[in-house]
Amino acid sequence: MSIIQSGQSTDSRQESSTRGLSVNAAFLKDIKDDNRELKHLMDQLTPMTSHPEIAVNHWGEIVGLLSDLSDQLAFHFTLEEAYGYFDHAIETEPQLSMTAGLLRGEHTELFELARSLAEEVAEVPSDETEPIAKFLRKLKKFRNQFERHEEAELELILDALSDDIGVGD
């Protein structure tokens, strides 16, 4: 899907940025729903997983939420790739193209991590604080990694957009 267009003139770049930025309404709705759902899942998980003593009392819910999170992330990454902002960044300049490639490459690893956490959580004894604490540390690490990834993507989009509108030129 991603194509590096060679020999673009300023004019053709302008055309491609117009293409890159025009997103149809159905797609926008999917993106909005996905972001809302992800935020909802994370917001539910945060207090329950804030401390092992709290998590013990919510283990069943946490198992269910991590399964939902894994499914939602599968959709989230597919949507991001289909949305095409990677392609847009790739068309914009080589430095952004490299960043876009690296970030897209992280999707597989992040999804595998989410899926293995969703599987692992079901195996943790729900009445033992120590294995729960260990699992929560893993989950926190994953959430930090995912957040850093999302922030880097946002930065990429903003860099690509500011290139388009000539900020700093």
Closest approach of Fe ion to the CB of residue 106, in Å = 7
Q: Where are the alpha helices (DSSP H) in the chain?
A: 10-21, 25-48, 52-56, 59-83, 85-92, 94-121, 129-165
Q: What's the length of the chain?
A: 169
**Interface stretch with Fe ion, choices 82-90, 94-102, 118-126, 153-161 (CB under 5 A):** 153-161
Q: Tokens 């969703």 map to which residue? A: 118
Which residue lies nearer to Fe ion by CB, 53 or 147? Answer: 147
Q: What is the CA angle 152-73-51, rounded to 5?
A: 85
Q: Is residue 127 helix, strand or coil?
A: coil
Instruction: Name every residue whose Cβ is closer than 8 Å to that of residue 79 and which is 6 or more positions away in sequence.
Output: 30, 31, 34
- CA dist., res. 114 & res. 69, Å (int): 7
- Applying CB under 5 A, which part among 5-13, 44-52, 121-129, 147-155 lies near Fe ion? 147-155
Binding string, residues 99-138; x marks residues near Fe ion by CB under 5 A: ----------------------------------------
Residue number, 59 or 97, with CB nearest to Fe ion: 97
Spatial distance between the Cα atoms of 10 and 146, rounded to a whole number of angstroms: 35
Stretch that binds Fe ion, among 35-43, 54-62, 76-84, 125-133 (CB under 5 A): 76-84
Residue from 80, 91, 159, 163 in contact with Fe ion (CB under 5 A):
80
Q: How far is the CB of 129 from Fe ion (least distance, A)?
A: 34
Nearest CB to Fe ion, comparing residues 34 and 153: 153
Site membership for Fe ion, residue 34 (CB under 5 A): no
Q: Which residues bind Fe ion (CB under 5 A)?
A: 80, 153
